[in-house]
Structure 1
Amino acid sequence: MRLLKFGIIIFVTLFLNFFEAVPISEDKSQNIEIGIIYTSNTNGILENCGCPGNPIGGLDKRYSVIKNLKAQTNNLSLILDAGDIFSSIGFIEKDRFVLSAYKILPYDFIGIGDQEFSNGIDFFEEIKKNLKDKLISTNIEYKDGRPVSKKYAIKNIGGVKFGIISVANEDPFAIMPPEKVEHIKVLDYTQALKNIIPILKEKSDIIILLSHLGYIRDVDIAEKFPEIDIIIGAHSQTLLMEPEVVNKCIISHPGGNGEYVGYLKLKINLKDKEIVSYSGRLIPLLKDIKGDPKIRSILNAYQRFVALGFKDTCLYSNPIPDKYIVVSSSTCMDCHEEVGYKWMFTRHANAFKTIIEDGRVNDPECLSCHTTGYCRPDGFTRKPYKKELLNVGCVECHFVKPEHLNGDYENTVEPVSSEICIRCHNKERDPYFDFEKYVLKVNHRESQLVDYIVKPGDYLYRISKNIYGEFGKWKLIYRLNKNVIKNPDLIFPGQKLKIVVKVD
Structure 2
Amino acid sequence: MLDVQTSPPSMKVSSLLLLAVVSALTGCSKPADTIALPAAPPKSLTIFYTCDTRGHIDPCGCSSGMAGGIARRKTFLDAHLSGPHLLVDAGDVTAGPREWELLELEYLLRGYEQMGYDAINAGHREASLGLERLLELKGRHQGLVSANLVNEKDEPVLAPFRVVTLPEGETVGIVGILDDRISATEIGQGLKILPPQDAIARYLPELRRRAGFIVLLAFADEDQMKEIAERFYEINVIVGGKVLQPSATPLRVNRTVIAYMTDKGKAVGRLDLKAEPAGRFSSTNSIVMMKEEFKDDPAMARLIAEYKSRLKEMDFLPAAQKDDEEGLTPISAERSKNANRYSGAESCQSCHPRAYETWTASKHAHAFHTLEEKGYDTNPRCLECHTIGYMASDGFLNTRLTPHLKNVSCESCHGRGDHHVKYYRGEDRELKDFKFKKVNCVGCHNPDNSAKFEYAAYWEKVKHGRD
TM range, smaller chain: 0.7 to 0.9
The reply on whether 1:287 has 2:292 as its aligned counterpart is yes
User: Residue 97 of structure 1: SS of its match in structure 2?
Assistant: helix
Alignment CA distance shift 1:231-1:219 (3 Å): same
User: Residue 258 of structure 1: SS of its match in structure 2?
Assistant: coil
Q: 1:359 & 1:49 partners in 2: Cα distance?
A: 10
Q: 1:202 & 1:272 partners in 2: Cα distance?
A: 19
Q: 1:97 aligns with which of 90, 104, 107?
A: 107
Alignment CA distance shift 1:326-1:153 (3 Å): same
The reply on whether 1:338 has 2:357 as its aligned counterpart is no
Matches within 5 A, 1:74-223: 74=83, 76-90=84-98, 91-132=101-142, 134-157=143-166, 158=168, 160-172=170-182, 174-176=184-186, 180-181=188-189, 183-223=190-230
The reply on whether 1:364 has 2:380 as its aligned counterpart is yes
Offset, 1:402? 3.5
The reply on whether 1:412 has 2:432 as its aligned counterpart is yes
Offset, 1:418? 4.3
Q: Look up the match of 1:63.
A: 74
Offset, 1:266? 1.3
Q: Look up the match of 1:326.
A: 342
Q: Look up the match of 1:46.
A: 57
Matches within 5 A, 1:338-417: 338-376=354-392, 378-384=394-400, 386-407=402-423, 412-417=432-437
Q: Look up the match of 1:225.
A: 232
Alignment CA distance shift 1:439-1:324 (3 Å): farther
> Contact conserved, 1:53 with 1:427, CA < 8 A, in 2?
no
> Could you list the runs of 4 or more consecutive aligned residues of structure 1 that deviate by over 6 angstroms after TM superposition?
none
Give the superposed CA RMSD: 3.3
Question: 1:343-380 deviations in whole A, cap 9, x for unaligned?
Answer: 33334233234334433233222122112233456543
User: Residue 186 of structure 2: SS of its match in structure 1?
Assistant: coil
Offset, 1:254? 1.9
> Contact conserved, 2:50 with 2:90, CA < 8 A, in 1?
yes
Q: 2:261 aligns with which of 232, 249, 254?
A: 254
User: Residue 407 of structure 1: SS of its match in structure 2?
Assistant: helix
Q: Look up the match of 2:310.
A: 305
Offset, 1:87? 1.9
Q: 1:313 & 1:99 partners in 2: Cα distance?
A: 24
Q: Look up the match of 1:461.
A: none
> Contact conserved, 2:65 with 2:292, CA < 8 A, in 1?
no
> Contact conserved, 2:215 with 2:239, CA < 8 A, in 1?
yes
Q: 1:378 & 1:196 partners in 2: Cα distance?
A: 52
Offset, 1:429? 3.9
Offset, 1:398? 0.4
Q: 1:391 & 1:407 partners in 2: Cα distance?
A: 25
Q: 1:414 & 1:231 partners in 2: Cα distance?
A: 53
> Contact conserved, 2:43 with 2:275, CA < 8 A, in 1?
yes
User: Residue 176 of structure 2: SS of its match in structure 1?
Assistant: strand
Q: 1:37 aligns with which of 32, 45, 48?
A: 48
Q: Look up the match of 2:13.
A: none
> Contact conserved, 1:343 with 1:442, CA < 8 A, in 2?
no
Aligned length: 409
Bigger radius of gyration:
1
Q: 1:267 & 1:278 partners in 2: Cα distance?
A: 7
> Contact conserved, 1:99 with 1:127, CA < 8 A, in 2?
no
Tell me which amino acid in the other structure corresponds to 1:116.
E
Q: Look up the match of 2:21.
A: none
Question: What 5-or-longer segments of structure 2 have no aligned partner?
Answer: 1-40, 322-326
Question: What 5-or-longer segments of structure 1 have no aligned partner?
Answer: 1-29, 450-504
Question: 1:24-71 deviations in whole A, cap 9, x for unaligned?
Answer: xxxxxx99432111111121221111245992111222222222221x
> Contact conserved, 2:340 with 2:419, CA < 8 A, in 1?
no
Q: Look up the match of 2:444.
A: 424
Q: 2:420 & 2:113 partners in 1: Cα distance?
A: 54
Q: 1:184 & 1:317 partners in 2: Cα distance?
A: 24
